[in-house]
């Protein structure tokens, strides 16, 4: 039923976007360009922090995470698969969303993943839009490569860059994988090929500054005059008309939000939720759309039962191994341990926007297929186990998703993990060590991290109260599916193969230390690798899937036009709509899906305008 309380905003908008995160900023930009006569309102809980030094400086991304001025500071419930650890999940609390606080790496999905989503999870009517061919321009449009002399021109897009100069470890990354028989694959949105790549980071090399959604998309849109941004507001819920349309669907009339303690209603012809993987399902549930069990427990009346809301939560877990390298191999360990070197880096950045703080931490990645890891017999053993688990799955949605993952496992070219290089030590097992154990150890390290590409484990994020001030209950259920552990363990063995190859062996310090400290020796067996995971696995901060774009009978929340099932004028577009997590960092897919969302909306608006002209 429509709300009878709250102050009515005197203005009405064609579109209200809930959230000013990565997807919302891009959508606002494209709609304001292509529909100049349409008025757009963007509601954001955080602030628009223009010219903020912490946000602009690439090397300070770690300082933003955990700071409530920039981060929602969310966390999971204790995770049984990770020895009961509570896992923090930074999410951007400012215009630009998480693109304004993340660590910059740009990793693209592969064609096969995109095609399978279109073919296996969507109806026929959505396949042309969401196939790899239909999405190619969307992946190309949102970014441009810059260097110190080239600022990327005037296009409204994210500025990216390659490293200004490769250091010793980065130069050795490609040869290490060539020793395994794999040359460098394509770095952009393309068909899969295993091997090492040097990727871009979302940094404007001409300025030495972070490039994020608010600077690239939102600020130009605001300058055009048909976009309004309201910050510091808390979105309560969507308000629907008391009567349903002729098609039986709910029709949204307005968004209820709180601004400095005052409740307001703003009306819109269409509402687009872009509040993120945790925020968008929360708004739907508070609005009466979701599982009747969840809504009943939270004392929210059910307007449309949609059990998939808040379900299907996925994330990339990673686990790393480190070797101590020779003293003459430059790494970042000395800087991490030395306040003097950190001050010198800060002074250099202040003078010229160059040096360590002008760079992202990771440019060296690899797409590692299962066939890189095992003998044919070992591969077939895991493929057989996968088939058995698939046959036992009774839920249609999970069965369809697992079949998609199975295809990647069976492919000799598709990544079952994305692997990347860090030029420093990495300690994720401190909680398991005696109190007082130092956070860092002496020495100079190369760390190789395996990130499980397509986990089978699924979690959830749900409200427990109708109050907008209460955070959702987040459960990832990491490593709850046994196949995740089996695939992950094999990728740790691949890291050992890299370390024993000629390239890394020539860099390794004789009798040098090994990390993690909870396993200070080479990993020799699958059993040892399995044992490392609960202690040392960590998140890559890539949550997605809670408002999945899938058929409704599969547990989907939005259809192929990103409309929420059961509604006529509510859409979702952010990381929550990704039905199956892509192989690498998810931001490239989020931007591309936002490009497609804008494309679909503009197409629908222009079709409606054409019909109106014909009728007159």
Non-local CB neighbours of 221 within 8 Å, separated by 6+ positions? 25, 28, 29, 32, 33, 40, 156, 227
Give CA–CA dist 160/443, Å, rounded.
Answer: 32
Non-local CB neighbours of 60 within 8 Å, separated by 6+ positions? 53, 54, 357
Give CA–CA dist 346/351, Å, rounded.
Answer: 9
Residue whose structure tokens are 């920039």? 70
Rounded to the nearest 10 degrees, what angle do helices 132-141 and 587-615 cross at? 100
Q: How does DSSP assign 237-275, residue by residue?
A: EEEE-SS--TTS-B-EEEEEEEETTEEEEEEEEEEEE-S
Non-local CB neighbours of 505 within 8 Å, separated by 6+ positions? 499
CB 41, CB 230: distance < 8 Å: yes
Give CA–CA dist 126/130, Å, rounded.
Answer: 6
Residue whose structure tokens are 């500054």? 209
In this structure, how many other beta carbons lie within 10 angstroms of the beta carbon of residue 323? 25
- Closest to 355 (Cα-Cα) out of 59, 555, 87, 585: 59
In this structure, how many other beta carbons lie within 10 angstroms of the beta carbon of residue 298? 17
For the chain, give the number of residues. Answer: 616
Q: Which two tokens stand for residue 486?
A: 């089996």
Give CA–CA dist 503/501, Å, rounded.
Answer: 6
First-last CA distance in the chain:
35
SS3 track for 444-469: CEEEEEEEECCCCCCEEEECCCCCCC
Rounded to the nearest 10 degrees, what angle do helices 482-500 and 376-392 cross at? 160
Non-local CB neighbours of 11 within 8 Å, separated by 6+ positions? 39, 41, 266
Non-local CB neighbours of 409 within 8 Å, separated by 6+ positions? 370, 382, 383, 386, 416, 487
Give CA–CA dist 489/554, Å, rounded.
Answer: 30
Q: Give backbone dihedrals phi and psi of 391, rounded to 5 degrees, phi first.
A: -65, -30
Q: Is 98 annotated to bind ligand?
A: yes
Give CA–CA dist 457/474, Å, rounded.
Answer: 14
Enumerate the known binding-site residues for FAD. 98
Enumerate the known binding-site residues. 98
């Amino acid at each position: 039923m429509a709300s009878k309380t709250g102050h009515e905003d005197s203005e009405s908008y064609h579109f209200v976007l809930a959230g000013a995160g990565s997807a919302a900023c891009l959508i606002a930009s494209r709609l304001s360009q292509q529909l100049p006569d349409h008025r757009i309102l963007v509601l954001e809980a955080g602030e628009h922090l223009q010219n903020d030094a912490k946000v602009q400086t690439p090397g300070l991304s770690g300082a933003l995470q955990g700071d409530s001025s920039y981060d929602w500071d969310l966390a999971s419930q204790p995770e049984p698969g990770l020895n009961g650890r509570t896992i923090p999940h930074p999410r951007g609390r400012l215009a630009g969303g998480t693109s304004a606080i993340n660590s910059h790496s740009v990793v693209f999905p592969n064609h096969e993943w995109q095609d399978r989503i279109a073919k296996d999870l969507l109806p026929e009517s959505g396949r042309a839009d969401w196939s790899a061919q239909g999405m190619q321009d969307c992946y190309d449009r949102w970014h441009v490569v810059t260097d110190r002399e080239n600022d990327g021109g005037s296009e409204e897009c994210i500025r990216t860059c390659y490293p200004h100069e490769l250091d010793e470890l980065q130069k050795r990354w490609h040869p290490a994988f060539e020793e395994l028989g794999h040359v460098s694959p394509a770095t952009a949105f393309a068909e899969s090929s295993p091997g090492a790549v040097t990727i871009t980071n979302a940094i404007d090399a001409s300025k030495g500054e972070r490039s994020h959604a608010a600077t690239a998309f939102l600020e130009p849109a605001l300058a055009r005059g048909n976009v309004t941004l309201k910050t510091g507001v808390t979105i309560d819920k969507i308000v629907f008309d008391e009567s349903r349309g002729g098609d039986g669907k709910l029709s949204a009339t307005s968004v209820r939000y709180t601004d400095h303690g005052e409740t307001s209603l703003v009306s819109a012809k269409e509402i687009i939720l872009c509040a993120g993987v945790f925020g968008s399902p929360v708004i739907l549930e508070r609005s009466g759309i979701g599982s009747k069990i969840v809504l009943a427990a939270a004392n929210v009346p059910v307007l449309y039962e949609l059990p998939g809301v808040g379900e299907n939560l996925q994330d990339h877990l990673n686990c790393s191994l480190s070797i101590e390298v020779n003293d003459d191999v430059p790494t970042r360990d000395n800087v991490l341990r030395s306040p003097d070197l950190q001050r010198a880096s800060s002074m250099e950045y202040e003078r010229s926007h160059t040096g360590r703080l002008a760079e992202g931490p990771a440019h060296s990645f690899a797409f590692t297929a299962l066939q890189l890891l095992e003998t044919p017999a070992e591969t077939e053993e895991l493929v057989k186990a996968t088939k058995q688990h698939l046959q036992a799955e009774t839920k249609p949605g999970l069965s369809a998703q697992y079949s998609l993952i199975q295809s990647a496992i069976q492919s000799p070219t598709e990544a079952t993990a994305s692997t990347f290089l860090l030029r420093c030590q990495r300690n994720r097992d401190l909680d398991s060590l005696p109190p007082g154990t130092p956070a860092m150890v002496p020495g100079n390290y190369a760390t190789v991290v395996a990130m499980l590409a397509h986990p089978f484990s699924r979690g959830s994020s749900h409200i427990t109260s109708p109050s907008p001030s209460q955070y959702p209950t987040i459960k990832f259920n990491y490593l709850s599916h046994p196949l995740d552990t089996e695939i992950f363990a094999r990728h740790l063995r691949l890291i050992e193969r890299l370390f024993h190859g000629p390239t890394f062996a020539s860099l390794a310090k004789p009798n040098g230390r090994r990390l993690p400290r909870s396993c200070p020796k080479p990993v020799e067996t699958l059993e040892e690798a399995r044992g490392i995971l609960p202690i040392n696995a960590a998140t890559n901060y890539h949550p997605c899937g809670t408002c999945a774009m899938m058929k409704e009978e599969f547990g989907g929340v939005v259809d192929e036009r990103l409309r929420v099932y059961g509604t006529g004028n509510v859409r979702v577009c952010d990381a929550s709509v990704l039905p199956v997590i892509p192989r690498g960092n998810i931001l490239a897919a989020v931007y591309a899906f936002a490009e497609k969302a804008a494309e679909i909306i503009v197409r629908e608006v222009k079709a409606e305008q054409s019909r109106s002209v014909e009728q007159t």
